[in-house]
Amino acid sequence: SPWEPVLLLLSPPAFSTTCARCAKDRRLRQKRAISERQLTRYFVDQRKVRVVGGQGGGGGHSFYSEPRKVFGGPDGGNGGDGGHVILKADQQMKSLSSVFPFYQGFHGERGGSKNCYGANGAHMYVKVPVGTLVKEDGKVVADLTQHGEEYIAAYGGAGGKGNRFFLSNENRAPKFFTPGEPGQERVLQLELKTTAHAGLVGFPNAGKSSLLRAISRAKPAVAAYPFTTLNPHVGIVHYQDYEQVAVADIPGLIKGAHQNRGLGMAFLKHIERCRFLLYVVDLSVPQPWTQLQDLKYELEAYEKGLSERPCVVIGNKIDLAQSRINLPLLREQVAERVIALSALTGDNLEELLLHLRDLYDIYVKTEQSRGQSPVKW
């Protein structure tokens, strides 16, 4: 037809994988890097939640009637029970930022005629990160430490009774029924404690974030100013036998952290769940062994016995000249094993990875000997 050339010009060009422009558009767009300051809006480790169970459905009120059977008696069924509000630990969740301040279970349906019971209300499931502590009035009521673990935060109300339930020899035509009961109402405090195998503990600018970036794929912010890390980061160290060791980068502590100075108590609680500790010490400062003494004092003041967990001392920044001078002095003052490395250049990271695996194997054997299952990632 005479319009065919015009239609060919107006039609969009066919997709071609050989075209450089089209091939570039097909690439997956990488996520924009989020700074540590922006990440504070997304990472929430405390949340106050009001939960209300679903209300039970009311009982039915009806009488059976059909031709030649007018007085068939009561046939109102019972109402359905209200749904529960259930907290469920999910390994994919890393923060409490997606948890809303209010949840309510679904209501049960009202009982129908012909002895039909009302349907029960569906349960409301709230996904929370693994390691969430549930408190009520300051008392711990649940500790969700395993993936898939559930806790009923609020029970749904029971359904009402229909008039069929009240049939008796004395009352052959009951007209009364009961409404559904309201659901349980509670106010809970959710507190997240990061669950990891190893925890990097050290003062600000000791190189914890740089070390985590060197041994895992985690990308915490790294800068030359104190308190660069404001949120705990968890990196996964992969081994050839497919074992995975989780290492948590705890924000830097200062003297008096157990008295809530600096970031203080907000992040000391994340160290509680770590099975063994990695003390990161800056070798370039004068008398680096005093850092280890101060760190152990802060941990012990926060929780007795916390500083006695299996540990290793990591002397960071061995690439500096002053660090090589302080290394033999540190080993004389410290009874624990000292691993000197450089997170910036990657020197001697293999020794740390091998010792980290040894600590993990000891932890797994200890848990299995106790009849408990070790935490897996």
pLDDT tens column, 187-209: 999 988 777 788 888 888 778 88
Q: Per residue in 55-90, pLDDT tens?
A: 999 888 888 777 777 677 888 889 999 999 999 998
Domain 198-370's class?
Answer: alpha beta
Q: How far is CA 118 from CA 85, 162, 163, in A?
A: 20, 10, 14
Amino acid at 115: N
Distance CA(294)–CA(316), nearest Å, equals 17
Looking at the chain, which runs of residues are DSSP E strands? 46-52, 85-90, 102-104, 124-129, 132-136, 139-144, 150-154, 185-192, 198-201, 233-238, 244-249, 276-282, 311-316, 338-340
- CATH node for 43-193: 2.70.210.12
Model confidence at 20: pLDDT above 70? no
Contact predicate 52/183, CB 8 Å: yes
What's the average model confidence in pLDDT over 220-249? 72
Q: Per residue in 297-330, pLDDT tens?
A: 888 888 888 888 888 999 888 888 888 888 888 8
Q: Per residue in 103-137, pLDDT tens?
A: 999 999 988 888 888 889 999 999 998 888 899 98
Alpha-carbon torsion, ordered 329, 333, 334, 338, to 10 deg:
10
Domain boundaries, the chain: 43-193, 198-370
Q: Please list, in sequence order, all residues whose beta carbon lies within 8 angstroms of the beta carbon of residue 285, skipping any fewer than 6 positions away.
A: 291, 326
Q: What is the pLDDT of residue 163?
A: 85
Q: What is the pLDDT of residue 16?
A: 41
Instruction: Report the SS3 class of residue 247.
Output: strand
